[in-house]
Amino acid sequence: MGNLGLKPRCGLVLADFEGARQLQLAGHARAHFGVDADIDQTGGTGRWIEFQVHSWRSTPLNLTQRCRLLEASPYNPLVRGVASAAFDGPPRSLVPR
């Protein structure tokens, strides 16, 4: 997160392993430390990462193996208030088929 203070330009890739697609996001991010928020909102870290999307594209995911969902990871909190069809929940634990 310290790198975001020096160079805020960054990207995210959200992979849909079952659908063999990926959503690529490019933009700028800013780290907020010492956030006074409910533990459910920051996972107890007191930190936020604000990400401003400047461009996006959806492309096929180049995989040599197909994967299937085993179960949702118990270490990722549920995401609430996300209004996007491109994201349908927290990251998932996947294994090759």
Domain count, the chain: 1
Measure the CA angle with vertex 48, ends 47 and 50; round to 5°: 155
Residues in the chain: 97
- The per-residue pLDDT for 85 is 43
Domain that holds residue 80: 2-96
DSSP, res 51: E
Taking only the tens of pLDDT, the chain with its 97 residues reads 668 888 999 999 998 877 889 999 999 999 888 888 776 777 778 888 889 999 999 999 887 766 677 787 877 766 665 444 444 444 444 444 4
- The per-residue pLDDT for 82 is 47
**What pTM did the predictor assign?**
0.60
